[in-house]
Amino acid sequence: MGRKQKLKQARHEAKGGNGKPRREVTPGTRVRRTWLFAVLGVLLVLIATAVALFMRNQTKIFQMAMVAQAYQIDEQLKPRLGRFSSEEGQRLEAVLHEVQTLANLPGMDARAAGQLKFVLGVVEEISRAGELEPGEIEKLEAQTQAARDYLNRQDRSRRP
């Protein structure tokens, strides 16, 4: 390599390799960068907390809506109980009251809510149609019991 080329390369490296003068990282730059990342970290934590609180609030609203729906179905079912035998009517009411009780329990999550929502939908259909298929009440009772067992397991796992 010739002398001129060596000088050219030395100038190029002195400028930082891209044609611009090399920028020194000063202690002030490091401080600003540290503060920037600290502020961004705090903002991230605040956003995550807000999202968690929002989701918790949504679950409570969903629970309240489910309880309201259960009471509404109960009111629809009462005048139509005469279509069923007394035992079937009592069992249907018992299932509906069990759903109302479970919907009010703390610790409701999506899985238990889905099971209870399914039971409410079936009871509403039965209330509209006014007829039961064989074994339908047993299925509803089993689904409600499964939701109760699940909520009990969740409650035990949260306790210290």
**Cα separation, 29 vs 9, whole angstroms:** 29
**Cα separation, 70 vs 146, whole angstroms:** 18
* pLDDT at residue 137 tops 80: yes
* pLDDT at residue 160 tops 80: no
Q: What is the pLDDT of residues 35-49, one digit of tens each?
A: 999 999 999 999 999
Contacts 24+ apart (CB under 8 A), 125-131: 126/77, 126/92, 127/73, 127/76, 127/77, 127/80, 128/76, 130/80, 130/83, 130/84, 131/83
Q: What is the pLDDT of residues 83-121, one digit of tens each?
A: 777 788 888 888 888 888 888 777 777 778 888 888 888
- Predicted TM-score of the model (pTM): 0.56
Alpha helices in 2-135 (DSSP H): 3-14, 27-77, 86-104, 110-129
Tell me the CA end-to-end span of the chain in Å, nearest whole number. 76
pLDDT (0 to 100) of residue 145: 87
70, 99 Cβ separation under 8 angstroms: yes
